[in-house]
């Protein structure tokens, strides 16, 4: 123990001691400068934002005004090349969720303007025009769109069930960035390795697997994982000018029925099946009971899991290792532990920090769990309600505004 203290003392004091004074050279030797290359210029970041906004405008124009799949395709190729392979997928709107959350909850982090624009612009565009961002600006979407060669339908029920995953992902991403633990969206980013052409094996496996499945299930990341899609989905449902399949009237020709690889076209439901007032009241009551029940159940489950969730946090993990040394008995001391001991930070400070973080996770667990419960409850409730429509329409939430269906519609003006 004494040895350890002495050793750590030596390590920290190494900075303080100039053991060997700088020699005074007689040969006229000039000490070279330590070169410090600068990061990417801020002007280029501003240019990124400008290109981002121009691409959004262009693709929105191509979708809503030109109604041209071809144009959308070429814009998406550009976005894939620029935001994907040139900018290597970072920073992106999906990941920016975490920066915004961190800026809200952390006292020290100031979000760069560029990141804020990357987060906000697609949301505002979606509120006005639908998810045109997904159609041609997001490099992830563009990459998956390219390889959606043989799209198979998986049915509305499975679609809806898998569609719950993004909500869970979003909730966890917000929880982990609000507690300053981790950016899980970036950590488990499947495609950034492809953009860099350099990835760890697990990332390569995950990204490659997603891409392969994307040949048959179009855009699996966008539909069943992307946490940003949750925000876009909700906002798009209330968008002002959304893409329509037909430019004027639907003639019910059913040509577009199988046009959408993302199963986002809603078929007409015209056969009214009038329900008695009693059934309606009963359904309503059931929904009103169902949702709070699921919220409470989810919240309770989340709060039960808060210690498990918090183990992702480095400080909590360290404190746990100190409290329960027997759990790692026999194994060599972790590098983290060695570093912690070398830092000379008192253990009590660490415990205090860790218990503070645990408390945050307890509250966060309730919120995250309640939110997921609400989503599951809402999903079940939506099964109980029938919506009537007369025409073939894109589902405003899940439609990615890729403009494929417009080519199928025989009405051209």
Partner 1 sequence: MEENSQGKRVDRRVFLHTGVQLAFVAGLGGLTVLVARRAGGEGYVWQLDPAKCTQCGRCATSCVKTPSAVKCVHVYAMCGYCDLCGGYFVPDTKILDTAAEHQLCPTKAIKRTFIEDPFFQYTIDEDLCIGCGKCVKGCHAFGNGSLQLQVRQNLCDNCNECAVARNCPSGAYTRVPADKPYLLNEPGTGNGPPQKTEV
Interactions with partner 1, residue window 146-185 (CB under 8 A): 182-183
Cβ-based burial of 277 (10 A; exposed 0-12, middle 13-18, buried ≥19): exposed
Return the ∠ at Cα 60 (arms to 257 and 65), rounded to 5°.
75
Q: Which is nearer to partner 1, 149 or 241 (CB)?
A: 241
* Near partner 1 in 345-404, by CB under 8 A: none
Q: Can residue 15 be called a binding residue for partner 1 (CB under 8 A)?
A: yes
Q: Can residue 273 be called a binding residue for partner 1 (CB under 8 A)?
A: no
Q: Can residue 98 be called a binding residue for partner 1 (CB under 8 A)?
A: yes
248 contacts 413 by C-beta, under 8 angstroms: yes
Region of 69-77, 120-128, 207-215, 400-408 interacting with partner 1 (CB under 8 A): 120-128
Q: Is 266 helix (H, G, I), strand (E, B) or coil?
A: strand
Q: Is 394 helix (H, G, I), strand (E, B) or coil?
A: strand
Distances 124 to 121, 182, 238, 252 between C-alpha atoms, Å: 5, 27, 11, 32
Q: Which is nearer to partner 1, 258 or 352 (CB)?
A: 352
Return the ∠ at Cα 354 (arms to 351 and 355), rounded to 5°.
85
DSSP state letters, 265-285: EEPPB----PPPHHHHHHHHH
User: Could you tell me where the beta strands, DSSP code E, fall in 146-295?
Assistant: 265-266
Least distance from partner 1 to the Cβ atom of residue 55, Å: 20
Q: Which is nearer to partner 1, 110 or 249 (CB)?
A: 110
269 pairs with which residues across the strands? 389
Q: Can residue 95 be called a binding residue for partner 1 (CB under 8 A)?
A: yes
Sign of CA dihedral 318, 319, 320, 321: positive
Q: Which is nearer to partner 1, 60 or 159 (CB)?
A: 60
Q: Can residue 20 be called a binding residue for partner 1 (CB under 8 A)?
A: yes
Q: Can residue 277 be called a binding residue for partner 1 (CB under 8 A)?
A: no
Phi, psi of 265 (to 5 degrees): -100, 125
Region of 18-26, 55-63, 249-257, 372-380 interacting with partner 1 (CB under 8 A): 18-26
Question: Which residue among 22, 157, 278, 387 contacts partner 1 (CB under 8 A)?
Answer: 22
* Near partner 1 in 307-326, by CB under 8 A: 314
Q: Which is nearer to partner 1, 18 or 413 (CB)?
A: 18
Least distance from partner 1 to the Cβ atom of residue 254, Å: 26
* Near partner 1 in 187-216, by CB under 8 A: 187, 192-193, 196, 198-199
Burial call 139-155: b when 16+ CB within 10 Å, e when fewer? bbbbbbbeebeebeeee
Q: How far apart are alpha carbons 390 and 382 in whole angstroms?
A: 19
Question: Which residue among 194, 291, 305, 342 contacts partner 1 (CB under 8 A)?
Answer: 342
Least distance from partner 1 to the Cβ atom of residue 370, Å: 19
Q: Can residue 332 be called a binding residue for partner 1 (CB under 8 A)?
A: no
R_g of the chain, CA atoms, integer Å: 27
Region of 102-110, 131-139, 218-226, 387-395 interacting with partner 1 (CB under 8 A): 102-110
Q: Element (H or E) spanning 172, and its range?
A: helix 165-178
Q: Which is nearer to partner 1, 53 or 127 (CB)?
A: 127
Q: Which is nearer to partner 1, 308 or 343 (CB)?
A: 343
Q: How far apart are alpha carbons 190 and 206 in whole angstroms?
A: 6
Which residues, including other chains, have CB under 8 Å from residue 346's CB and lie 6 or more apart?
A: none
Q: How far apart are alpha carbons 197 and 208 in whole angstroms?
A: 12
Question: Which residue among 43, 157, 201, 240 contacts partner 1 (CB under 8 A)?
Answer: 240
* Near partner 1 in 28-57, by CB under 8 A: 29, 31-34, 36-40, 42, 45
The token pair at 320 is 């746990």
Q: Can residue 276 be called a binding residue for partner 1 (CB under 8 A)?
A: no
* Near partner 1 in 126-145, by CB under 8 A: 127
Q: Can residue 270 be called a binding residue for partner 1 (CB under 8 A)?
A: no
411 contacts 251 by C-beta, under 8 angstroms: yes
**Per-residue binding letters, 60-89, with partner 1 (x by CB under 8 A):** ----------------------------x-
Q: Can residue 19 be called a binding residue for partner 1 (CB under 8 A)?
A: yes
Q: How far apart are alpha carbons 160 and 139 in whole angstroms?
A: 24
Q: Can residue 283 be called a binding residue for partner 1 (CB under 8 A)?
A: no
């Amino acid at each position: 123990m004494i040895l350890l203290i002495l050793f750590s003392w030596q390590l920290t004091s190494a900075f303080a001691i100039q053991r060997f004074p700088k020699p005074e050279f007689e040969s006229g030797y000039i000490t070279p400068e330590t070169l410090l290359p600068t990061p990417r210029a801020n002007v280029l970041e501003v240019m990124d934002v400008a290109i981002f906004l121009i691409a959004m405008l262009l693709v929105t124009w191509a979708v809503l005004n030109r109604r041209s799949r071809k144009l959308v395709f070429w814009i998406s190729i550009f976005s894939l090349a620029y935001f994907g392979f040139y900018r290597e997928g970072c920073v992106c709107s999906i990941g920016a969720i975490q920066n915004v959350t961190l800026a809200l909850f952390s006292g020290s982090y100031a979000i760069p303007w560029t990141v804020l624009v990357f987060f906000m612009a697609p949301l505002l565009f979606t509120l006005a025009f639908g998810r045109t961002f997904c159609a041609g600006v997001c490099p992830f979407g563009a990459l998956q769109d390219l390889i959606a060669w043989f799209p198979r339908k998986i049915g509305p029920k499975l679609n809806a069930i898998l569609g719950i995953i993004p909500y869970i992902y979003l909730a966890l991403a917000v929880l982990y960035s609000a507690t300053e633990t981790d950016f899980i969206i970036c950590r488990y980013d499947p495609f950034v390795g492809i953009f860099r052409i350099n990835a760890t094996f697990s990332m390569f496996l995950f990204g490659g697997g997603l891409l392969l499945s994307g040949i048959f299930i179009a855009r699996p990341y966008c539909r069943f994982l992307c946490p940003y899609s949750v925000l876009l989905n909700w906002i798009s449902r209330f968008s002002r000018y959304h893409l329509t399949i037909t430019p004027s009237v639907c003639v019910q020709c059913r040509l577009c029925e199988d046009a959408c690889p993302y199963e986002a076209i809603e078929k007409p439901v015209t056969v009214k099946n009038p329900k008695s007032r009693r059934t309606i009241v009963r359904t309503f009551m059931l929904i009103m009971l169902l949702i709070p029940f699921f919220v409470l159940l989810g919240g309770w489950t989340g709060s039960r899991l808060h210690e498990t969730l918090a183990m992702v946090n480095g400080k909590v993990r360290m404190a746990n290792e100190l409290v329960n040394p027997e759990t790692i008995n026999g194994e060599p001391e972790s590098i983290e532990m060695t570093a912690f001991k070398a830092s000379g930070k008192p253990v009590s400070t660490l415990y205090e920090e860790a218990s503070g973080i645990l408390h945050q996770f307890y509250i966060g667990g309730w919120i995250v769990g309640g939110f997921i419960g609400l989503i599951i409850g809402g999903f079940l409730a939506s099964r109980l309600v029938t919506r009537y429509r007369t025409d073939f329409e894109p589902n405003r939430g899940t439609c990615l505004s890729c403009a494929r269906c417009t080519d199928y519609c025989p009405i051209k003006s």
